[in-house]
A and B are shown apart, each in its own frame.
Chain A
């Protein structure tokens, strides 16, 4: 069954005619070519497919695209502003928090949803916030450090 779906992705409106059973992950990657959102476990365990829906982190592998209508979807491609990386992206680069990189888009989006609500987190809170994003290179310490760096930058920006 084909359905017409209006999606708002990274501030851009799309109207698509798709099969009702297609997941948001599949539509983002193969219809909109937003391949920064990764595919892996397809069972809401690993977090590489994390996107933000109305600012909340969700696993796009277990969301039907049709149910995302009318919501604001943010993928990793939507974080940079005017060609400038988001402080989280910059901090991950500066800290060397990226190894193979596959988990990083989801990691950064989970971190963004978290920092939006917790501007001054402890390391423990960051680890808990990122529990649904697995890094199999297992370099979590630098990821936590990067999120702390980004939190500092974002707090400074807020004060300005």
Chain B
């Protein structure tokens, strides 16, 4: 027994799901994998009167990897881990997905859930930010698409209207000589919320020396997962020397706004960023150069 008393709805289309959400407004919650929602309900943190299950809604679990990359909102972390097309330049996606909870959580937890839960420590979201992801929302007034960066507003807070369902995440395909990487620091290797995490993406020039494009995103060191534009700009157009990577780490640490809590002090989190950013960039560099 969750201790909550809610009505359960099981729509069979996106249109029906968002109509229900519009009708019940703040009293309703969408249910996908349930690994965050049911915990919040059982802790008494939220008490929805209506739960709208998405299990019978078709069109939410597709994965596209030709050209642009599309992840349906209902795609599970398990699916990301097992998608062969994510083994190469997009490996950061797998690295972000495979550290979320245990297998039991990843088998049912979804991309949309990880995003709309809006935890500053969400592990997959920095990777999506580093891939310039857009989110598509379906609502009763139609569909809209906006950048993931603009969608995330604060801890547990997004730009989603109560009637809107996050149906898909879309990322442009990566140019040649690109690579991604994700690194996470926790107090132990598994089953741990990030103390700090970093996602990076690099695109190299034909010689494999200069940076054409850089993306750096951080988790658990600000009110939302964040991109650090200043550190990205410092790399673009520059030779990717060890000193340039170190400097990007310093700029990222400066841009971070960490808090001190039971897991780590703000100072230690900043230190982690300054170390993990160059390390993640270095990994991208090796991977991008390793592509024949």
Contact = CB atoms under 8 A, between A and B. Distances in A.
Given A1-B8, A59-B105, A44 B35 contact: yes
Interface string B173-197: 0000000000000000111000000
Interface in B18-57: 31, 33-35, 38-39, 41-43, 51, 53, 55
A125 to B, nearest CB: 12
A117 to B, nearest CB: 10
B35 A62 contact: yes
B88 interface: no
Interface in A8-41: 19-23, 26
Contacts, number: 98
Interface in A127-160: 128-129, 131-134
B1 A62 contact: no
A129 B98 CA distance: 11
A113 interface: yes
Nearest to A113: B103
B7 interface: yes
Q: Helix, strand, loop or mixed for chain B's interface?
A: loop
Q: Helix, strand, loop or mixed for chain A's interface?
A: mixed
A19 B51 CA distance: 13
B263 interface: no
Nearest to B191: A131
A1 B34 CA distance: 19
Interface residues on A, range: 20 to 34
A21 B102 contact: no
A56 interface: yes
A3 interface: yes
A104 interface: no
A43 B45 CA distance: 13
Nearest to A27: B1
A87 interface: no
Contacts of A3: 8
A47 B106 CA distance: 13
Which of A20, A56, A110 lies at the interface centre, i.e. has the most chain B CB atoms within 10 A of its CB? A20
A140 to B, nearest CB: 12
A126 interface: no
A66 interface: yes
Given A22-B1, A42-B42, A56-B78, 13 more contacts: A1-B6, A3-B8, A20-B6, A21-B4, A21-B51, A26-B1, A58-B108, A61-B42, A63-B108, A64-B31, A64-B34, A64-B53, A113-B103
